[in-house]
Structure 1
Amino acid sequence: MTDSSDGQNPVPGLPLHDLAGFTHRWVEGDGVRLHVVEGDRSAGPTVVLLAGFPQTWWAWRTVMPALAERFHVIAVDLPGQGHSERPHGSYDTHTVAAHVQAALSALDVPKYWLVAHDIGAWVAFSLALKYEERLHGVALLDAGIPGITLPESVPLDPERAWKTWHFAFHLVPELPETLLTGRERDYVDWFLRAKTLSPDTFDGAEVDQYAAAIAAEGGLRASLAYYRDAPRSARANRDALGRGPLTVPVLGISSSHGSIPDMAASLGPWAENTTGVVIPEAGHFIPDEQPGAVAEALTAFLDHEHVGQSAVATSRAHR
């Protein structure tokens, strides 16, 4: 269902896919219209979902209904992603985090849990550094974070290079646009097949959907901009961590065949309260490959930390 009263769709030529029980909205986020898909407001805490490259909010489609049984769920298309606006300007993750936070404030969400994958996790980490007081906690899925856990160089060993070669490719001026324009589907298809444990995880319609989002005006430019602005993101992350580590609970979600073997270990030095889980029988695209296991891991994390925070709040109230 679409709630058109909240703003105009900035990518009207791109087909809009519905998910039962959820509503499409467009919200002004610090000068950028962001597409959000919101579940019926429940009494439970709010969970915000961010997807990564080369996907959109649709990456969470099979996780969202399970979470919505207990939580108020909001999936956000990042700037340049899906049906969100594709601004010209900086895509460093602290700038993007400000857009996301502004949109959530416009939705009257005072505090929330943040769950993010891949480049979405880049944004989530920076958002946690910048707006920690707005978060109950954060869960990050299979992502190296710029300036923190993302390697500075691409390995030359073929057994490892295929996982990260595109970081360097996307940084090259103009060449990716020259080679990829008109071949977005081939490019997206490679990622979705090569980085899943089962190459049949995504059907042709899903590949078409993600490729169309990138091929739409401004989509390729924006996708590449996240990588091209990664050095700026890295510097901002390091500067923020110079003031101290994250104090909100952090869950690192890895997979048996993903890019980061142990998210919790990689994030541990930068956060005071880090736990981890490894999802079996999955590659990089964990929410698509094992949605049930992801929903269970997130629910257990949110329930455990929410109970702990409630106990702390009760203790303080009785002092």
Structure 2
Amino acid sequence: MLLSLCTALLAPTRALLALQRLVARLAVAAAVAAAGVVYGLWGLGVLLRWGPRRALRWRVRAEPPPGLADGTYGEHRHLRLKNSGLRLHYVARGPPTAPLLLLLHGFPQNWFCWRHQLLEFSTRYRVVALDLRGCGASEKPPGKESYRPEVLLEDVREVIEVLGTPEGHVGATAGHPKCVLVGHDWGGVLAWELAAGHPDLVEKLVIIDASHRAVFARFSAWHPSQLLRSSYVFLFQLPLLPELLLSMADFELLKTTLTGPRTGIQNPARRLTEPELEAYLYSLSQPGGLTPPINYYRNMFGDAPVPRERPPCPVLLLWGAHDAFLDPRLAPCLRHRMAPTAHLHLVPNAGHWLPEDQPDTVNHLLWDFLRGTE
């Protein structure tokens, strides 16, 4: 009888939760349809402006540009993950026994976005810039399911356990290596959850222009302008169309994203050169190169609950004041909900690509944080 009573009392709550899930799914479906129409019209405009022959042509890069595959910024190495068997590529610089500083990139980038930090911090740290699975020179397993958040987090966890040897790590114990974890964009999304879910592995956390998934959903519900900034997220839920649109006119949309006056690097002295831009296009231009990173987004709206635990370690939060994709008002919201004691810096005259846009400022703030003078 008691069980029946409890079931009856919980029935309205369950019905309300089911209704909320249904409304959320319908809202996402509507946003996906709208994004498909808007971006589809953009693609039609490209076809009309340049003609089908040019618009539907893109070039597969045969050779990597200077700096991407050579030893300019560090030693190129690969790690075979024990659990999945996947082979991940990373660039490492600094003494092998020094504390691990692990750098996680976002979309549409790879390890190369951390080149300034590889050079800067290798005097005191073993700096490792990882190519996440499906990106750069790391292996690219097929299928959307291979890019679920929990799978990506397991990759990063294993990388820390293998590369983060305890020697020289403050607070580390035998068998529990620590690292300083730095994430930008998607790398930051993963860093939030890794630091909260595996506090024994992360000594300090640095988030650069990246939201926690739970906070992002709540913020977007109250700030519709963020949905416009993130319209590409809804486009990426569709099959095939995102890959086609991003490839059109030799990756024109990606080039604009990284170099455009509103969306690209804001610092005139740091705007991407042609070889630097090609460092990102090289991998993406290979057959099937766009699908794996887009699959990160295709797993954003799954049924699995989003972890909401706060990372217990010290947190540094850096944000470009002119980020075109993530509203700067999201940064204090993140601090309030996920890291109340975090050090937050809104960097003026900087956009979304902060490690490349203002590397001197980023490096200075990161040094202060690492030395405990922040």
Q: Normalised by the shorter chain, which TM-score bucket?
A: 0.7 to 0.9
Which residue matches 1:90?
Answer: 146
Which residue, out of 188, 197, 221, partners 2:266? 197
Which residue matches 1:144?
Answer: 211
**Is residue 131–residue 137 contact of structure 2 (8 Å, CA) maintained in 1?**
yes
**Is residue 47–residue 72 contact of structure 1 (8 Å, CA) maintained in 2?**
yes
Q: Check if 1:23 corresponds to 2:79.
A: no
Which residue matches 1:230?
Answer: 300
Task: Measure the CA separation in 2 of the matches of 1:184 and 1:136.
Answer: 42
Please provide the CA RMSD for this pair: 2.7
**Is residue 160–residue 179 contact of structure 2 (8 Å, CA) maintained in 1?**
no
Which residue, out of 96, 116, 123, partners 1:69? 123
Task: Measure the CA separation in 2 of the matches of 1:154 and 1:216.
Answer: 39
**Is residue 74–residue 118 contact of structure 2 (8 Å, CA) maintained in 1?**
no
Structure 1 residues 120-169: Cα deviation after superposition (integer angstroms, max 9, x where no partner):
11111121132221000211111233222255469776xx6663221111
Task: Measure the CA separation in 1 of the matches of 2:249 and 2:181.
Answer: 33
Which residue, out of 194, 201, 210, partners 1:127? 194
Task: Measure the CA separation in 2 of the matches of 1:80 and 1:184.
Answer: 21
**Is residue 64–residue 73 contact of structure 1 (8 Å, CA) maintained in 2?**
yes
**Is residue 100–residue 128 contact of structure 2 (8 Å, CA) maintained in 1?**
yes
Q: 1:52 to 1:216 in 2, by over 3 A?
A: same
Task: Measure the CA separation in 1 of the matches of 2:283 and 2:115.
Answer: 16
Task: Measure the CA separation in 1 of the matches of 2:343 and 2:108.
Answer: 27
Which residue matches 2:246?
Answer: 180
**Is residue 62–residue 288 contact of structure 1 (8 Å, CA) maintained in 2?**
yes
Q: 1:155 to 1:126 in 2, by over 3 A?
A: same
Partner of 1:49, secondary structure, is strand
Task: Measure the CA separation in 1 of the matches of 2:244 and 2:259.
Answer: 23
Task: Measure the CA separation in 2 of the matches of 1:137 and 1:209.
Answer: 29
**Is residue 143–residue 260 contact of structure 1 (8 Å, CA) maintained in 2?**
no
Which residue, out of 236, 250, 254, partners 2:315? 250
Task: Measure the CA separation in 2 of the matches of 1:205 and 1:132.
Answer: 39
Which residue, out of 34, 37, 50, partners 2:91? 37
**Is residue 36–residue 76 contact of structure 1 (8 Å, CA) maintained in 2?**
yes
Task: Measure the CA separation in 2 of the matches of 1:293 and 1:163.
Answer: 25
Q: Which has the larger displacement, 196-205 or 90-99?
A: 196-205
Structure 1 residues 14-60: Cα deviation after superposition (integer angstroms, max 9, x where no partner):
62433446211110123221111111216642210011111111001
Q: 1:202 to 1:21 in 2, by over 3 A?
A: closer
Task: Measure the CA separation in 2 of the matches of 1:33 and 1:230.
Answer: 24
**Map 1:42-57 → 2, pairs under 5 A:** 44-57=98-111
Deviation of 1:221 after TM superposition, in Å, equals 0.8
Q: Which has the larger displacement, 102-111 or 274-283?
A: 102-111
Task: Measure the CA separation in 1 of the matches of 2:366 and 2:110.
Answer: 20
Task: Measure the CA separation in 1 of the matches of 2:149 and 2:222.
Answer: 21
Task: Measure the CA separation in 2 of the matches of 1:265 and 1:302.
Answer: 24
**Is residue 315–residue 343 contact of structure 2 (8 Å, CA) maintained in 1?**
yes
Partner of 1:62, secondary structure, is helix
Task: Point out the structure with max Rg over C-alpha.
Answer: 2
Task: Measure the CA separation in 1 of the matches of 2:141 and 2:119.
Answer: 31
Task: Measure the CA separation in 1 of the matches of 2:209 and 2:80.
Answer: 29
Q: 1:189 to 1:202 in 2, by over 3 A?
A: same
Which residue matches 1:113?
Answer: 180
Deviation of 1:222 after TM superposition, in Å, equals 0.8
Aligned residues: 288
What is the TM-score with the length of structure 2 in the denominator?
A: 0.70
Q: Which has the larger displacement, 113-122 or 93-102?
A: 93-102
Q: 1:87 to 1:154 in 2, by over 3 A?
A: farther
Partner of 1:187, secondary structure, is helix
Which residue, out of 219, 229, 235, partners 1:169? 235
Task: Measure the CA separation in 2 of the matches of 1:21 and 1:209.
Answer: 13
Structure 1 residues 79-135: Cα deviation after superposition (integer angstroms, max 9, x where no partner):
111111111233122210111221232335311010010111111112113222100
